[in-house]
A and B are shown apart, each in its own frame.
Chain A
Amino acid sequence: MKNLKKSFIAILLLFWCGVAIYGWHLTREDAGSSSLKNVVLGYQAGDEFYISKIRGQFVKKMKAKGYNVKFKEFQNGAAMLQALASGNVDYARVGDTPPVSALAAGTKLTYVAAGGTKAKGSGILIRKNSSIKTLADLKGKKVAYTKGTSSQYMLLRALKVAGLSNDDITWVNLDSDAASVAYSKGKVDAWANWDPSVAQVEITENSKLLVDGTTTKALNRSFIVSPTTYASKNKTLSKLIIKYTEQDMKWANKNHSKLIKKMSADLKLSKKVVRRSVIRRTFSMHAMSKSVVKEEQEIANVFYDNNILTKKIDVSKHVQYLK
């Protein structure tokens, strides 16, 4: 009996070690090869870099040019920019508000490229049977948003378009999980949010967008940013990344069904939800242009005017126009 127990525990421990060693092996596999220059790209599931990753061509093309690309997934833009600031990520794919906040916090980053927008999938969610019919009806209502993210900007823009003042609604600051619960329980009347979460809520909660980014001009554009010193030293690399990502974006626009299948598995969302969010956006990636800088400057100004940022930012000083 005693010996039985001893051997049982010994086997259990051996099994434990075996599994742990297997796990170690798995982590080694992504370590990559040696002679190539390592480039670390930060992404979030479902974004442009994610598409490049799942298509697989990007890594091969970069390898042919002498770069060993590693993709690192992040759960939110703030964490990614923290990693960027500490030099652990060379290029980060972010939304339009995190870089503005990071610049205000003193992070030395440079805008390298601009992607497409999620204008049609970003806006203010309401239930289809809601008493809110127009933007003006938001007056006196409770609206969920997440401080410092695109949703705050959307809401500020929406109020401006509606001609309401900021005090006309009740601002309910919740992170996305809490907001989701609050919305489904009817604790808030509306929710400023973006895809694919919007698509999911539209389907599961019988909701629609009261207003989207095409009206509010809160476009929710994608950007690629890089640490300033890194960007100034690696212009050729940046150009390659833009070029190859753009090729992947063209592929994505043509191969919706493949993309939707893979995305729905990785994001653990139903295909219906993913399809809705994919078909209403156009994927692209280009070098920076004056017009997108203007968009970013507008965000910085609005955030500064509303005391969200304590510093005035001149976005144009942090941009690289690569041609």
Chain B
Amino acid sequence: MPQKLLEINKVGKSYGKSVILSDANLVINEGEFIALVGMSGGGKSTLLRMLAGLEETSAGSIIQDGNKIQGLNKEARVMFQEDRLLPWMNVMDNVLLDKRGKQSVSEATELLTQVGLGQYVEQLPSQLSGGQRQRVALARALMSHPRLLLLDEPLGALDALTRTKMQDLIRKVCQDKAITTFLVTHDINEAVRMADRIAVIKNGTIWRIVENPYRGKESLGDKEKEVEISEEILAEILD
């Protein structure tokens, strides 16, 4: 029986008169990789920001370890759509942020090696490609040992090839470290490629949850089956 980490309970969000989310319910289990797909403007990112504690719920509650999330969620780290690296700091300092000490430095070096940027520690963000920058952002997020990693379409701006590589990298790192991961994306193929479960958001609520048995295996699974699931989800969204 999987351990429950987080429970989204009848959560609603509205800005003035426009309602973004009305009655969203979702349980996130410890250690799983869950993706949230849906049309743009459907409230995906809003839900993620509420999980991070960057925005408040208008209705309902988000319970983590039996406690309601209020203010910043300290167990979570966000990888944003943009890399949000500090352009005046080199890669190492961006990963370290406020952490000091030899141990932190060696940990950061290890993480950077893991994401394949071992030789770039001295470089400035502007000297890196978009994909490399997002890898730095990933290392930075992992530096704080989060229990929950929130990915807000972090690969949206990358070219297709880099994207596929990044998907595999993120998936692998999260699996190795057993981090619960919540991915928001508008790309269904990406969700299918990465997630154990895929939640479909529609009409301001979690419309359906699709199990994805083809993910997480060593072989990238059955292409046909992958396509089948993608089409099934797409049909759900467009329905």
Q: A and B: direct contact (Cβ < 8 Å)?
A: no
Binding site for B on A (CB under 8 A): none
Interface residues of B (CB under 8 A from A): none
